[in-house]
Amino acid sequence: MSAVAEKGTGTKNFLTGLKEAIREEMLRNERMVCMGEDIGILGGAFGVTEGLQAEFGPQRVIDAPISEAAIVGSAIGMAMMDRPVMVEMQFMDFISCGFDQIVNNAATMHYRTAGDVSLPIVIRGPSGGYGGGGPYHSQQNESWFAHSPGLKVVVPSTPLDAKGLLKSALRDPNPVIFYEVKELYRKREIEQMFPREDYLVPLGKASVRREGSDVTLVSYGNPVYFCLEAADKLAEQGIQAEVIDLRTLVPLDEEAILTSIAKTHRVVVVNEASRTCGFAGEIVARINEAGFELLDAPPLRVTREDTPVPWVKPLELHVLPSVDDIVQAATKVVRF
């Protein structure tokens, strides 16, 4: 697989990038607080907030009751009083329990107050499948929030981006929904060296993970690595694939996508979420609107099937996108 990460002594994983980002922003801004279920004494379900309550105290790292609606509602109130809030969802599947507070209150507050009120809130947590979590612990539901004006949506794929994007999100004056694909948390193959200085990645800027001339593969989160592996397999057939990692869905870096398609004239868009109304469809629509004349073949999507994610491993792998699915789609558009 093509390497995104720089491996070796001193490298750090995705989870560490998140942990460092939160701690550094807590140190930088003494008004910032963290809220979530079991994020204090336990340190979070996956250990992202481990040690933070001991360092900053229970008034800044708050163990909340099991009510996502109450957590987000409380965070909105704090943010209105100029207290930036990091909200952890134990799993992003359960963000739906706080849906009303997020899309009807947090997303609209800046608009409804004619810009007088900002809500510096980041709602983050683990998402995605491939780990045998079943339908309640495997969702990738980012399109819900990309559809709600007023929310930014971020899905990093590398440890450095996890850190840099989360720090940028925590400094943003308005709500950000931040997806962390849990399969990447401790994945050793993608570990990276971290710079000593303050490290930020701007929201709304995609990254070219691999350059190519024959077909563009557009993705974000875990499927970026599937695209890179597919690009290796395509190269064996003489097909050079370019891989674009969006990193941020809202705002979307359309320029990066169109620049790549202007070179390759073919595109496959990959997302882990289900096909109908998934974000891959939005990307294809924008390509058709803004870059139709650049295309030599119809854009294709590779997505999860329109079904809940099964618990049984063979069925889970059957419905989720795979490297072979991407290779087949890319080969099809190249041969069109």
Evaluate whether 14-190 and 207-334 have a shared fold: yes
Domain residue spans of the chain: 14-190, 207-334
Strands 215-219 and 241-245: parallel
Q: CA neighbours within 13 Å on the CB side: how many for 96?
A: 11
The superfamily CATH assigns to domain 14-190 is Thiamin diphosphate (ThDP)-binding fold, Pyr/PP domains (3.40.50.970)
Of the candidates 137, 147, 265, 318, the residue annotated as catalytic is 137
What is d(CA 10, CA 7) in angstroms, rounded to the nearest whole number? Answer: 8
Instruction: Per-residue pLDDT tens, the chain, 336 aa: give them.
Output: 333 444 444 799 999 999 999 999 999 999 999 999 999 999 999 999 999 999 999 999 999 999 999 999 999 999 999 999 999 999 999 999 999 999 999 999 999 999 999 999 999 999 999 999 999 999 999 999 999 999 999 999 999 999 999 999 999 999 999 999 999 999 999 999 999 999 999 999 999 999 999 999 999 999 999 999 999 999 999 999 999 999 999 999 999 999 999 999 999 999 999 999 999 999 999 999 999 999 999 999 999 999 999 999 999 999 999 999 999 999 999 999
Does domain 207-334 fall under CATH 3.40.50.920? My reply is yes
265 included as an active-site residue: no
Question: Whole-prediction pTM value?
Answer: 0.95
The Cα-based distances of 32 to 178, 199, 219, 322 in angstroms read 17, 18, 32, 40
The Cα-based distances of 318 to 90, 135, 325 in angstroms read 26, 14, 10
